[in-house]
Amino acid sequence: EAAIDEAAGTGSWVDVAPLLPSVFTPEDVSGIVQSVLKSRPRNVSQSVQQLLDTIIISDAFMETCVRSFDPLMTTKAELDSQKGVIFLEAAPAPQSHHRQAAPAAPMPTPAEDRQDKKDERRKKATGGKSGGGTQGRETKTKAVKPKKQQRRGRGGGDSDSEDDAGDGPSHSHRSKQQQELEFMTVDEMRVQLEQLPLLRDCPPELSQSIAEKIHRPLTRKYQEVARSIFLATSSASGAARRKTFAELQEKVSSLLLSIQQFDRGLKALPAGEELQSQLAKHLLKTLCSDLTNLVVGYLAAEHAKEAETPASMAPEVRQKLIQKLQSDVRGPVLKLHQSLSAKTLEDFLADVDVVLGPGVCDMIIRSDKKKERQWLLSHRQALLSQLSEAEDAALCLHLAVLLVAQAQTQKALHASGRFVPQILSALRAQLPPDTFALLHQAQELVMRHLTLDDSSDEKESVASSLKELIPKLKEVGATYKKQGPTEE
């Protein structure tokens, strides 16, 4: 009793076998310990546990062993959550429609389990014996009924067949689910316990016994910790994904609106098919490719699980990512990728509508006339802002021509500086002579300045003339108004 009190008071363990005469067997010691524990007050006896017949271990000591697994439990739950392990309890056994689910029964002790098996064998041994006459016929009739039911439908077997089915595939499936929820094996827990300072000098059998004792409670505790971490991570991940998707949808919508406006702009330009085709190719190579890269990057991360996708990717890289997509998504996206090589935007706009729609990106893109007007105003304002800050004559000419073209056609143009001569030529019939003369003069000087050698004296003269034209170019770009058709 003193040894038990000391173990309970100090939160430790004690082996009582050395304290008793050596003639006592472990079974004798176990009986003595149980008698002592039963004779003590209830609240005192509950503060210790008996292990391995002769060892008394305090509840505080056991709790310390359990708490030592908390850091490992949290770390493993976080890792499993990152790997995408689903923390679900094992599925219940399938119930037939005419049987109600019974409440879960506590696990039988080994003694109860042995007794149940004896009773079951006794019933099987005596179950088939019956007298003659009516009782025998009744037995025969009852034996036939399950067969008829079995012929009527495979799902209506008797209770024995249902019980036997528990050992089939569904049972192994449930076992697999439980294995997925396991924290550590008993052997792994034993190894971990042996590293604790308080168990360093204990016999190996005690570590094994403690591991077996705490295995089920730790597994249940791990399931709760893992489930809570998984749900919290899933919730945060879901919110982040929704935010990312909303941002992507806004970016795609804005880019698509720009492409549509620039497509209308190049078609409104009074030019031949050659210039419109060149401007369309430029638009496909720039903004349309940017939009396609956004879509392919999103789908690669969503379906192909690509960790990183470059924001700007070459056509070869983009095609490799598309090939990794699942077949129902790959087809429409591949058509969109191929439309970037066309001479017009008709195919691209049709294909991008399919890709952004249901079944692929599932984005909601709506056309809005008010947004279109706002976009034209904001685009013009952006060009004016760049023009006011520009100091390079070539850039000033480029921006001024784009502003004049937008004012004249009421549509925006997406064109690089190399298109300036062609745009000026297309607008010549609609521009006032003085405006065209100024822009044409600036264009000639810019071209001359680019072709002259740096050591040439003429280059300095051309640069000086261009510098004088910069204020005039800025004024034309900022103040030009749409002109009516010129009278012949």
pLDDT value of residue 152: 43
Better-scored residue on pLDDT, 52 or 382: 382
Q: Which tokens in the block code for residue 309? A: 């996708």
**Percent over 90 (pLDDT), the chain:** 35
pLDDT value of residue 283: 97
Tens-place pLDDT, residues 387-437:
999 999 999 999 999 999 999 999 999 999 999 999 999 999 999 999 999
Confidence of residue 40 (pLDDT cuts 50, 70, 90): low
Given a cut of 60, whether residue 120 has pLDDT beyond it is no
Which span out of 163-172, 235-244, 279-288 was modeled with the highest average pLDDT?
Answer: 279-288
Tens-place pLDDT, residues 195-210:
888 787 778 888 888 8
- Compute the half-sphere exposure of residue 134: CA atoms within 13 Å on the CB side of its CA: 0
Question: Lowest-confidence range among 143-152, 206-215, 220-229, 275-284?
Answer: 143-152
Better-scored residue on pLDDT, 426 or 99: 426
Tens-place pLDDT, residues 5-37:
666 666 677 776 666 666 677 676 677 767 676
pLDDT value of residue 143: 44
**Overall average pLDDT of the 375-382 stretch:** 96
pLDDT value of residue 352: 95
**Overall average pLDDT of the 363-373 stretch:** 86
pLDDT value of residue 235: 65
Question: Lowest-confidence range among 136-145, 211-220, 288-297, 321-330?
Answer: 136-145
Tens-place pLDDT, residues 470-483:
999 999 999 999 88
Q: Which tokens in the block code for residue 198? A: 């308080």
What is d(CA 261, CA 369) in angstroms, rounded to the nearest whole number? Answer: 11
Question: Lowest-confidence range among 85-89, 172-176, 407-411?
Answer: 172-176
Which span out of 59-63, 97-101, 368-372 was modeled with the highest average pLDDT?
Answer: 368-372
**Overall average pLDDT of the 362-376 stretch:** 88
pTM: 0.56
CA 182, chain centre distance (Å): 24
Confidence of residue 238 (pLDDT cuts 50, 70, 90): low
Given a cut of 80, whether residue 105 has pLDDT beyond it is no
Question: Lowest-confidence range among 47-61, 167-181, 217-231?
Answer: 167-181
Tens-place pLDDT, residues 45-73:
457 777 776 777 778 888 888 888 998 98
Given a cut of 70, whether residue 96 has pLDDT beyond it is no
- In DSSP terms, 57 is beta-bridged to 13, 49
**Overall average pLDDT of the 279-307 stretch:** 88
CA 4, chain centre distance (Å): 55
Confidence of residue 331 (pLDDT cuts 50, 70, 90): very high
Confidence of residue 455 (pLDDT cuts 50, 70, 90): confident
Asked if 412 and 261 touch (Cβ cutoff 8 Å), the reply is yes
How confident is the prediction for the chain on average, in pLDDT? 77
CA 298, chain centre distance (Å): 12
* Per-residue burial over 165-185, b = 16 or more CB atoms within 10 Å of its CB, e = otherwise: eeeeeeeeebeeeeeebebbe
pLDDT value of residue 422: 95
